[in-house]
Amino acid sequence: MAHGDITHIDIPVSDSGRAQAFYSALFGWQIAAPPGFEDYPMWQAPNQISGGGLAPRGDGFTQPRSYVEVDSIEDTLVAVAANGGSVLMGKSPISDTSWWATFEDPDGNVIGLYEGSTEVDRS
């Protein structure tokens, strides 16, 4: 996986422009509203496979929680703070080769970060 890769997820937002600026700056996502879906901008991760939408808050959308692969949790948490988000939990180990953290974006959505390897050492 590459920095910014994630599975599809809807992220409820109250200010679409602010959300687009935040996620573009943080992960380098390409965000655009497809024709016919002007109120539902879609984001595309760097792998060109993963993506999702910035859904208007309400209409039954619930709090998302997904995990984003990053090259460096430390660098990403600095970018979170610089772009108006807040760190909820700093870098914590999962194993000897992987870590996780969580942050809250400017709309109050909780997102997880993942750094490391999921490969198992079988030696």
Q: Specify the pLDDT at position 79.
A: 97
d(CA 44, CA 19): 14
Q: Specify the pLDDT at position 74.
A: 97
Within-domain flag for 5: no
We report the CATH number of the domain holding residue 27 as 3.10.180.10
Q: Specify the pLDDT at position 117.
A: 76
The residue range of the domain holding 107 is 10-116
- pLDDT tens column, 66-107: 889 999 999 999 999 999 999 999 999 988 998 989 899 999
> Number of folded domains in the chain?
1
Within-domain flag for 94: yes
- pLDDT tens column, 18-76: 999 999 999 999 999 988 888 889 888 887 766 777 988 876 566 776 889 999 999 99
d(CA 48, CA 18): 23
Within-domain flag for 14: yes
d(CA 12, CA 107): 8
Evaluate if pTM is beyond 0.75.
no
Which residue's structure tokens are 């709090």? Answer: 63
Burial of 51 (0-12, 13-18, 19+ CB in 10 A): middle
Q: Specify the pLDDT at position 21.
A: 95
Within-domain flag for 73: yes
